[in-house]
Amino acid sequence: MKKLITLLVCVFAFIGMSHSQSKIQPAKVGVNYGKKIDKNGAVSVKKLESNLAKSKTFDGKIEGQVVQVCKKKGCFLTLKREGDQEPIMVRFTDYAYFVPEDLIGKTVVVAGKAKVKETTVEWQKHYAEDMGKSKEEIAKINKPKQDISVVADGVLVVK
């Protein structure tokens, strides 16, 4: 009986520790999500677009302003592009970490791999739902689109 009680105490302590570690820190300058990175060598979103016009992929750091964060659990963010262009989708390697909604409007550096790819109608609808868009907006999505996608190992808040 004593061993059972000790085992239960250990299990509940472990659950409590893992739950407290899963809390997402508020977005403040200097906070890292995922792999710890720095801003050295980061290119602008515009420079990324220029690089991807020449090469199909980019591996490095990108600095940009966050315009959207997944409302369900912070499982992706988007970076602002110039003009009326669709923002750049940034997902996280193996969904190993999440970011807070208060990241919207902040400038971040993301480190990872970027590429131009086609996003299916199904995935566009999934992302739109995760962003909290209305059923009417989601229903208007009816064709695949070419866009820039980043899979990031880490995110650093810089402004």
The per-residue pLDDT for range 53-82, each reduced to its tens digit, is: 888 899 999 999 999 998 878 888 999 998
More confident residue, 148 or 127: 148
The per-residue pLDDT for range 134-151, each reduced to its tens digit, is 888 888 888 888 888 899
Given a cut of 70, whether residue 1 has pLDDT beyond it is no
Tens digits of per-residue pLDDT, 86-123?
Answer: 899 999 999 899 999 999 999 999 999 999 888 788 88
What confidence score (pLDDT) does residue 107 get?
96
For residues 53 and 90, what is the distance between their CA atoms, to the nearest angstrom? 18
Question: How much is the pTM?
Answer: 0.73
